[in-house]
Structure 1
């Protein structure tokens, strides 16, 4: 995951609602504008929503034309603490959010070793439905909020299991800065939003130990705290470690990794060099580790070669032998025996 932002110009309906309800946005916007960029961090976007939600007594932060009071949020508390897996947490959240909103916007789908939480806002009563940019931003940020909520409740199990995100905005449009949050592949132009998790990991047993406050303040505070903690941890980790994470998540180009880290390609090269590594070496290491895992699971050398985009088997054999001291076939045979 990288640092995510929201363009100030994209949240004009929230700015207008803040004026209407007497909410001062200056502390959030001034803090983000010190460098001259007209944007705020994703955590501050949710702080603005929390302030609006509390001022209006509306859990939707005045985004919906149908008010949702904070008391309804207490509905989730007991059920959440009975969840015994990420899958159960997702199912409970989807069911009760539907009950809170009085309509079926959320559903769960299983298949192909994946579990998907589907959020279909096609018929959601947005106040500003005619403002497509704002509605798409709200949907993008909603996926982030729900994932952060799930991840905080399951102590990181949601992030470990996350595999892909589907967004409704069209493919080919300029990538919006809020979506820099995601380190997994994004699929655009979907009919609904989807958070797609590994099924086996989603079924792993867990226990939610803490009390779950799903009031307006409790829900937003949980998400904001989770984002602040994540950013603090990321800030302490080396660029090489964060680059490895992104490469393991499927990225392979320096430009894509640099964009995820919110730095330039030149800065990425310089920072890696200062830490004594080069991008190509990290990429090769990641590929070979993936190849080792495939061979251990019974994949053929040809399958590993194709999956890792090597030009031919001989090139893959040479790279693997330099790394492990033996050919992929010999490694696989030794492992099986």
Structure 2
């Protein structure tokens, strides 16, 4: 897998939406990478999806407010739950297309069968993009969507999707400057297609799989699986700090230090030591993640009692104290101020 990047200037609509929803993107954007072949400040493709996930969590919208038709964030877990019942890559693709259409309420995805090929077709011609007039951004979203779909399929099929992948079709025109996100692909790219297509070998796509029995399903969100898959296959994975990887797992829903250490394939003692080397403590990261989730809930209109229960606090008073230390005001005062 080649190293893929996204130019920061190309995701300005996401940055603007993040500001509107009070999302702090500094951890992903404050130290952009100057990539020689890109020639402009950029972020790794995994960080692009981290930006999307942060915005999706804050807005409770799986589309990260890219669509004018909202999808509740937890629908991602529903989608994964359906896909893990598949018995082949082909069945996984069919389930993905069917349930994404059902969730979006329209037919944007279809599966085409050929003599020796199987294609997942994504036609966004009539998709309700909020920024449809921004063609560059819409094309970037489409390019990255193909990466997201393939990573999701590959993570669930333990590499079967990469083995079977033969070609990618993109909607952007040939002859444009090569977009750095498309460096991800190691198969031929076709430009100027009427829709996006991920084309797989038919026989390999039909090979039997046992997803539920073999795949680690402890991380079942769409963004979580995609980011984890990109990190695991990044040729420069060593550059990703242990703090960033720990935050990812906490945002995925893990809360115990032992579970995080196991996912990172290190001991609890090593996790503590490596966090300390970065000036971090596990309990502080856990508290920060939980309170960020609480902030998003309060902004979306949840009551203090609902946030307390969702975050497993012992009582409202304990939640009030923690939130006030973090924000300098009680959750009720914060919610009232935000709504006003």
TM-score with structure 2 setting the length: 0.65
CA displacement at 1:70 relative to structure 2 = 1.9
Tell whether the 8 Å contact from 1:149 to 1:223 is kept in structure 2 after alignment.
yes
In the TM superposition, what are the counterparts of 1:15-94 in structure 2 within 5 Å?
15-33=15-33, 37-94=40-97
- Alignment of 1:184 onto 2:187: yes
Counterpart of 1:194 (choices 191, 194, 197) is 197
Tell whether the 8 Å contact from 1:80 to 1:92 is kept in structure 2 after alignment.
yes
CA 1:195–1:111: 2 relative to 1, 3 Å = same
CA 1:197–1:233: 2 relative to 1, 3 Å = farther
- What runs of 5+ residues in structure 2 fail to find an aligned partner? 240-340
State how far apart, in whole Å, the 1-side matches of 2:22 and 2:185 are: 33
State how far apart, in whole Å, the 2-side matches of 1:102 and 1:180 are: 32
> Number of matched residues?
234
CA 1:228–1:113: 2 relative to 1, 3 Å = same
| Aligned match of 2:10 | 10
CA displacement at 1:29 relative to structure 2 = 1.3
In the TM superposition, what are the counterparts of 1:282-321 in structure 2 within 5 Å?
none
Counterpart of 1:96 (choices 88, 95, 99) is 99
Q: Secondary structure at the match of 1:195?
A: strand
CA 1:227–1:77: 2 relative to 1, 3 Å = closer
| Aligned match of 1:118 | 121
Counterpart of 1:157 (choices 146, 160, 168) is 160
| Aligned match of 1:229 | 232
State how far apart, in whole Å, the 2-side matches of 1:187 and 1:77 are: 29
Q: Secondary structure at the match of 2:82?
A: helix
Rg larger for: 1
Tell whether the 8 Å contact from 1:110 to 1:116 is kept in structure 2 after alignment.
yes
State how far apart, in whole Å, the 2-side matches of 1:131 and 1:213 are: 37
TM-score with structure 1 setting the length: 0.66
Q: Secondary structure at the match of 2:13?
A: helix
Cα-Cα RMSD: 2.0
| Aligned match of 1:175 | 178
Counterpart of 2:208 (choices 188, 200, 205) is 205
State how far apart, in whole Å, the 2-side matches of 1:150 and 1:83 are: 11
Tell whether the 8 Å contact from 1:80 to 1:212 is kept in structure 2 after alignment.
no
Q: Secondary structure at the match of 1:118?
A: strand
- What runs of 5+ residues in structure 1 fail to find an aligned partner? 237-337
